[in-house]
Amino acid sequence: MMVGMTTVPGQVPAAQQGHRHPLDPEPVRSTKARAVFALGLIGALTGFFVGGVVPATIALTLARQARREAYVSGGFLTGAGWMRRGEQLAWTGLLLAAVAVVAAVVIGVVRLAGAPFGHDFAPNID
């Protein structure tokens, strides 16, 4: 459904939309938009466990392809809202994975710094 754009409620539409040609396809939601949302959600839920990196990366790749297809379709592919939310969730998953990796490195360095250096021999050995 295409609607004319207005700048302020009550003003006349900025662009009048003409009648559709009878051979134009019906607007449909992109299946990739749903996949981006689902993969982004999985990436955000499993991001802290570092397993979310793979679905989040796939979601961002699919989002790029879906945007390109939506542009080429001339407005007959919808689902930009789902895709935007999926991308946000994917970036959240990647951020959580990065936080988990940094936390693991910091914990490892702190434990390594507290450990004795070298081999600890018994007191009666030179």
pLDDT, tens digit, for every residue of 12-67?
555 555 676 777 778 888 899 999 999 999 999 999 998 899 999 999 999 999 99
6 occurs within a structural domain: no
> What is the helix (H) or strand (E) element at residue 75, kind and residue range?
none
Domain that holds residue 102: 84-115
Q: Is the pLDDT of residue 5 over 50?
A: no
The pTM for the full model equals: 0.72
Tell me how far apart the alpha carbons of residues 45 and 88 are, in angstroms, rounded to a whole number: 12
96 occurs within a structural domain: yes
28 forms beta bridges with 77
pLDDT at 6: 43
* Number of domains into which the chain is organized: 1
pLDDT, tens digit, for every residue of 66-100?
999 988 888 888 899 999 999 999 999 999 999 99
